[in-house]
Amino acid sequence: MHDSVALEISVDPALARRVSVLIFARLALVVLIVMAGWWWIYSDARLSLSTLPTGLVVLLLVSVFLAAVFQVWLRVSRTLTWQIRAQFFLDTVVITWLVWETGDLISPYITLYILLISVAGYFLGKRDAYVVTAACCGAFCMLSIASYWSMIPTISGGIASSRAVQIIAFNNAAFVLVGILTARIAEHHKVGAALKLAEANFADLSVLHERILRSINSGLITTDLDGRIHAFNSAAGRITGLRADDAIGREVFEIFDGSVRPTIEMCLREVQAGGRTPANFEAPIASAVMTDKPATVACSVSPLCGSSDIATGLIIAFQDTSVLHAMEETLRHSDRMAAVGRLSAGLAHEIRNPLGSMSSALQFLSEKEKPETAEAALMSVVLRESDRLNRIITDFLTYARTKPAGTHTSEQIEISAAIRDCLALLKHDPGVSEKHIFEYASPESPVILCADETQIKQVCWNLVQNAIHAMPDGGRLKVSLLEPNERLVRLVFADTGCGIAPKDRKRIFEPFYSGTKGSGLGLSIVHRIVTDLGGGIDVQSEVGSGTMITIDLPR
């Protein structure tokens, strides 16, 4: 940056304060000079106060006036550069006048030029320090020449020419030397200020960089050419379940599933060879923290380049696509359910009506046969199987015809009473023995829910029946009614049955998928009803330890 623009800025409060200090310091120096003159006169018995030079009085008055003018100018000025330059120009004039008044070549105030040059370098910088130095040298030389050749009155008396030349040369050399030193110091000061500003900007950029990395929702990993992690943002930690301190320094292959190792190694080889083509792939997270809830991420790999545009590693950006896959699965499930709904009407006419006719005919024929005959036994088997097939079709039609949210008949029901009714009926189910223990826990106050009571009983009926089937040799079923908050009602069905294998857990809500002797539609009906009511269902199960199904329903 050029020196001339060092102060060409809008008013800086800190600089304005320094200029104000300069104004008062100048005035204080003048007062000190006047007091020194007064003390020198007072201490000399041969002099009196009447001999105080008129110039000192004029100097004091002029300084007070200029201080007032500069203060007013400081309040109204938008830039300070030219005001400071004007102050130093007037300082040069005043010092030259003071030197002339006090003996020109032999004046003790010649050193004020040195003070002026030093202060000018501090306030104005390198170039203006040279300008003020040249002005001081020129003013002193012109004053010295004019006084030596008696062009102006002087009180120094006759001075030999050699002595005059020595004084002029010595003082000008001092001015130039101080000017050079001041300019160098000003330059160093400016460089130091620029360095501090650069450091502050760098710190701000670093903070901004950290905030950006912390704020983005995508995981971001940077590696070196060996595949070791150097940076790991908070979103990456949230997705993988790892802390940055644990991830940095590890190989990136440890974060993702081993199946992506060839892809990342290929990217590293391509980057080392100067390639720039990004790679995209999906990979499961291999972190041990995520094993209980597997996550799949979509990754994009790009080269990480340094300032010389040479690749120094990889940038791996990734997002958790587990939710997206879950949405896709939900959509596929909805499509399957739509197909089931379209098929249900045809099934009702094409299967159920002939089945009813067959059952009636078999019932009529069985009455003609004697109970102990083989034909009667065979007809009994056919009747039982036709009844079972009729129940399957009934469940299927119930599942397919479940009304969507907002169209079912809703009313304010006391849900606890509906659950008690279901439990009371199911205790007399043929599959229930004395080894089956039923527990029910609910709040003391009534729990009101806006829903179809028939649907709520259907949910409870199917879940309790499933629990009974999962405990053929007996066990404990605990049904809990909870109120997590004022907007939700929670039902929890926890049994000690055989449990559900992990590979089957994703399919239990599919129609006709059954691990027991049921039709495979009970949980499908439950899922459909809960979803249509705007609720959610969660299944936690371990083989041999039992199953806990949690249902949340909005009030």
Q: So what's the pLDDT on residue 514?
A: 65
Q: Name the residue among 128, 94, 125, 121 with its Cα closest to residue 109.
A: 94
Q: So what's the pLDDT on residue 123?
A: 80
Q: So what's the pLDDT on residue 104?
A: 73
Q: Give the tens place of pLDDT for each residue, 191-235.
A: 777 788 787 777 777 677 777 777 777 888 888 888 888 888 888
Mean pLDDT of the region 172-201 = 83
Q: Give the tens place of pLDDT for each residue, 28-44.
A: 888 887 777 677 666 65
Going from the N-terminus, what domains does the chain have, and what CATH number goes with each?
3-202 (no CATH), 217-320 (3.30.450.20), 329-400 (1.10.287), 411-554 (3.30.565.10)
Proportion of the chain above pLDDT 70, given as a percent: 76
The CA distance from 117 to 136, in Å, is: 8
CA distances from 521 to 243, 458, 465 (A): 44, 12, 12
Q: So what's the pLDDT on residue 5?
A: 40
Q: So what's the pLDDT on residue 180?
A: 87
Q: So what's the pLDDT on residue 446?
A: 86
Q: So what's the pLDDT on residue 373?
A: 66
Alpha-carbon torsion 151, 157, 161, 163, what sign?
negative
Q: So what's the pLDDT on residue 400?
A: 61
More confident residue, 6 or 213: 213
**How far from each other are the two terminal CA atoms of the chain, in whole angstroms?**
69
Q: So what's the pLDDT on residue 477?
A: 92
Q: Give the tens place of pLDDT for each residue, 360-372.
A: 776 776 666 565 6
- What backbone torsions phi and psi does residue 270 show, to the nearest 5 degrees? -65, -40
- Indicate if the pLDDT at residue 190 is higher than 90: no
Q: So what's the pLDDT on residue 480?
A: 92
Mean pLDDT of the region 45-59 = 60
- Indicate if the pLDDT at residue 16 is higher than 70: yes
Mean pLDDT of the chain: 77
pTM of the model: 0.40
Q: Give the tens place of pLDDT for each residue, 389-418.
A: 776 667 666 666 555 444 456 678 888 888
The CA distance from 150 to 157, in Å, is: 10
Residue 132: pLDDT band (50, 70, 90) is confident
Residue 1: pLDDT band (50, 70, 90) is very low
Q: In the 8-state DSSP scheme, what is residue 254?
A: G
- What backbone torsions phi and psi does residue 444 show, to the nearest 5 degrees? -70, -35
Q: Give the tens place of pLDDT for each residue, 90-112.
A: 888 888 888 887 777 777 788 88
CA atoms within 13 A on the CB side of 130: 8
Q: So what's the pLDDT on residue 345?
A: 56
Mean pLDDT of the region 300-319 = 79
- Indicate if the pLDDT at residue 374 is higher than 70: no
- Indicate if the pLDDT at residue 461 is higher than 90: no
The CA distance from 373 to 193, in Å, is: 112
